[in-house]
Every structure is written in structure tokens, then in C-alpha cells.
A and B are shown apart, each in its own frame.
Chain A
């Protein structure tokens, strides 16, 4: 069977949508962070697949992916640091508890 581009793109899109769904519905900040990670990885798959199938002569998509992975790592590091700070002050990582400023 021929593996065409669509076999990668559709799972990547599903992954992205799962990420968005998880980000919106999950109430635990760590779970939200995992959902964000899913979204970022879906982007990486897209870039690599487009590069590999459509433009095999160049490396732009691959390089973008490399940088995107590094950026995602930095983002996670910062988010985890902030979430730990929150945990120290409210002993919890549920977003439902972070509603002090609404009124």
C-alpha cells in the first residue's frame, strides 16, 4: 500500500483538535500543558510531512521543526515553573481555583 501524505496530515489534524479540546475542557493545569504539547507536536508533523512529500529538495520545514521543538521545550519549562509557583501558593493545580480576580 502506498503511504501518501494524507495518512500523516489527518492524524496530525486530529491530534491538533484533541489538543484544543483538551485545553478547553481539562481543569488540571498539567493536563492543559499536555494538551498544548499535543498541538505543538501536530504542527511539527505537518511541517516535516510537507517538507518530505512536497518539497524534498529543501530543508526549510525540517529546520522549522527543529526550532519549534526547542521553543516548545522552553515554553514548557516556563509554564511548569509558573505552575509550581501557583501550587506553592494555593496547594492545588486546578484552574477552577484560580478565579479570584473575576470579581
Chain B
């Protein structure tokens, strides 16, 4: 065996080293210094994130008999996820210093790195065995993280719902996979693609594909499979919720794209174009309509993230390089906007324990900076120019339109109408904060240093990403 191929998985290896370091630190650090564990993890992971941007000479590479692939696009999407994880880590510092959590806080960072490792494998896998291992490595530690607040009943309830649906979805996914294996005789992405090009579409393939899409649809919380989302998001600790809503969703979306394009690309119009078409319409519309009547901020963002997942899927439906670059850009922007919103929710929850929308009434008078950050996040999620969210929606629609069929025009039109519906409920929050006359129930408070840093990063991202066009140009250049 040629051991130099391990060099292809540089990012995984660095992550593993960081994981082991954090583990040793957590185990052997003296009790009195334990409160520094979180900060050290953040600094370490910050270095790791910066390292990811160093130019690599390796380029496209296959390793382990073609089971693992790395390329410029893959390195980029991993960097995007790294940025998100870094922000989540910084946001989690205050939460992990609470009395009930702090004895186990090292575990939080270990689990975070372990799930990220699984997501790396999911993204890089070119063989379904490696993909399934990555999927499980990503979702099982997440279940433990959802159950992290041992003293809170909601956390248990959310964890049960999460773990049972996660196992159910992977069983459905693997069932579909077994039929694909029976049809094509291989689990390599490339071999399956060749076999499918030769034999075309069949009813068994369509059934298998429906199972595969349903399995990943659960992870992405696309609409017929979204029922777990709201409860899990509400019950999980806020940093874990933000992790679930951006990082795990972004990684799954990219992996989904790779599977559908590389493996099932040849049966696009016969098999999955219409399945995805229906899923996208349902996801965007149902997510929006349910978001309108939510009053708990975390549930509200859960439904908003369901409909955002629908927009992300538009990039997959586009089936062209512009769709790929738009999907990556959308994930990047979505990380900043959603984490800004979760940062504000987490700060208010940590200071006062309030999570309902009526608690935000008149927030502008007591905490103007938090209200302003929240407003930027809501504008960006709704897609109001000149914030980044507008550009990400614009590019993803353009990518979809470029596919060219009449059906896609109708799909984009429906998505556009939904953008207007979503504007209503995003602005409800802004209205509560700025226009409502009621006295604020949240007294003025100072958020901690870590929360401020995380929010500053997010605000910078929201303001700059759309205007600094070289980011999108870069993504478009590498996707082509």
C-alpha cells in the first residue's frame, strides 16, 4: 500500500490531530485551569481554519482506490464549513461556562470536532461505504450533543426525536442503496454512474432513488420528512441548534449534490428531476407557511431553515456549474445570516432565559446593538439588497434559470413568490423589535466578549459578502 496517499486527506488529518489534542487537554488539564479549555479550542480551531486557506499544490486527487477524492471545490466547501464551526464554537463559549455544563465542556468541543470529521468524509467520499460511515459519524455525536443539557427535560425529548429519526432515515437510505447495488454491482460512484449510463432508467432504479432521496431528505429536513426539525431545534441547547441548522445542513446539501450529479446524473430527466421538483416546491412553501405562526424564536428559525433548505436544493436542480457555485455561496451566506440570528437569540437566552417573540418587543430601546444585528440577519435571510442574502438568492435563481426548461421557470417563479411570503414573517421580528410600543421585558444587559466577537464576524459577513464580488467569482471559477 502506498502510504503517501494519506497526504491527500490533509484536512481530515489536521482535524484528527486537533481532536486528539483537545481530548488530551480535557483529560489532563488541572481542574483550576479547566475554564480555559473552550478558549484554547477556539484558538486552535481558528488556526485550523486559517490553514485551510493556504494554497495547496496537490489539486485534484483520488486516494484509497478511488474511495476518497479531494479537489479545489471540496477544499473550499470544507473551508466554508470550518468558518461556520468556528463561529459556533465562539458562540458556545458562554453557554459552556454555565454551572451545569462546564464539567463536561471539553466533551462538547470533542463531539463538535467528531461530527465535523464525519461531514468531511461525507463530502469527500466517492464510495457509498465511506459515505455511510461519514454520515453516521456525523449524526451520532450530534445526537449526544442534542442531549447535552442533562438537567433540562426538553433536551432529552429533542434527543430522542433526533436519534430515532436519524436511524430511521439512514435505514431507509441504506435500503435504497442495496437496490442500487443490486442493479449496478458496485458501490463506487464512478462505476455506478457508468452502469446507469449503459442500462438507463428502470422502475427499480426509481424506487431505489426515492429511498435514497428520502434518506438524505430526512437529514436535510426537506418537507415530507421535516417533522422532527422544529422539536429538535427547540429542545437542543442553542449552540447545538445553530450547528444543526447551518453546518450539518450545509454539509448534507453538498454531499447530496455530489451523489445526485455524479452517481445519478445520467438519469436526471428520467428519474429525479421531478422528484426534486416536487420536494423543492413543498419544502419552500410548507416551511414558509408554518414559520408564520411560530412564536418561539427557535421553532421559528427551524421552519425558516426548512424553507432555506428548499432554496439550497434549487442549486442541485440546476444541474450546471453555476448551480454548484451558487449552492456553495448560498451555504456560506446562510452560515453568516443564520448564525447572527442564533447569536442574538443565544445571548438573550443566556442573559434572561427568554426565547419568545413577544419578549423581543421594544428590544431596540434597551439593547440597540442586539436589535440591529438581528435586523441585519432577518434582512439577509429574507433577501433584501444590499445584504448578502439577496445575492445568494439571486445567484441560485440565475443558476436554476440557466438550466433552461419551462418547468424550471415556473419553479423559480414559485420560489420568488415564496420569498415575498417569507419577508412577512422575517419582518414580524423586526417590527417587534423596532416599532412595537410595548415596554421591553428584556432589561439592558452586556453580552459577553465571546458573543460579541461571534456577532461581529457574522455582521461583517452579511455586509461584505454580497458586495465583495471576488468571493462569488472565485467560487464560480473553481466550479466551472
Q: Which residues of A contact B (CB under 8 A)?
A: 16, 19, 23, 29, 32-33, 36, 39-40, 42-43, 46-47, 50-51, 54-55, 58, 60-61, 63-64, 67-68, 71, 74-75, 78-79, 81-83, 85-86, 89-90, 95, 98, 100-102
Contacts and interface: CB of A to CB of B under 8 A. Distances in A.
Given A43-B178, A78-B140, A36 B160 contact: no
Given A64-B129, A82-B163, A98 B140 contact: no
A45 B51 CA distance: 44
B179 interface: yes
A79 B164 contact: yes
Contact of A67 (B129, B179, B185): B129
- List of 4 A-B pairs having minimum Cβ-Cβ separation, nearest first: A46-B178, A39-B171, A50-B182, A43-B174
A86 B156 contact: yes
Interface of B: 128-129, 132-133, 136, 140, 143-144, 147, 150, 153-154, 156-161, 163-164, 166-168, 170-172, 174-175, 177-179, 181-182, 185-187, 230-231, 234-235
Given A60-B181, A64-B128, A89-B153, 16 more contacts: A19-B171, A39-B171, A64-B181, A75-B166, A75-B167, A75-B170, A79-B167, A81-B144, A82-B163, A86-B157, A89-B156, A100-B157, A101-B157, A101-B230, A101-B231, A101-B235
29 contacts: A16-B171, A29-B160, A33-B164, A36-B164, A39-B168, A39-B175, A40-B171, A42-B175, A43-B177, A46-B179, A54-B182, A58-B185, A60-B129, A60-B181, A60-B187, A61-B181, A64-B129, A67-B132, A75-B136, A75-B163, A75-B166, A75-B167, A78-B143, A79-B163, A82-B159, A83-B160, A89-B153, A90-B153, A100-B154
A85 B174 contact: no
A50 B171 contact: no
Interface centre among B144, B171, B179, by most chain A C-beta atoms within 10 angstroms, is: B171
Nearest to B179: A46
B141 to A, nearest CB: 9
Contacts of B179: 46
Contacts of A64: 128-129, 132, 181, 187
A40 B163 CA distance: 15
Contacts of B129: 60, 63-64, 67
B185 A54 contact: yes
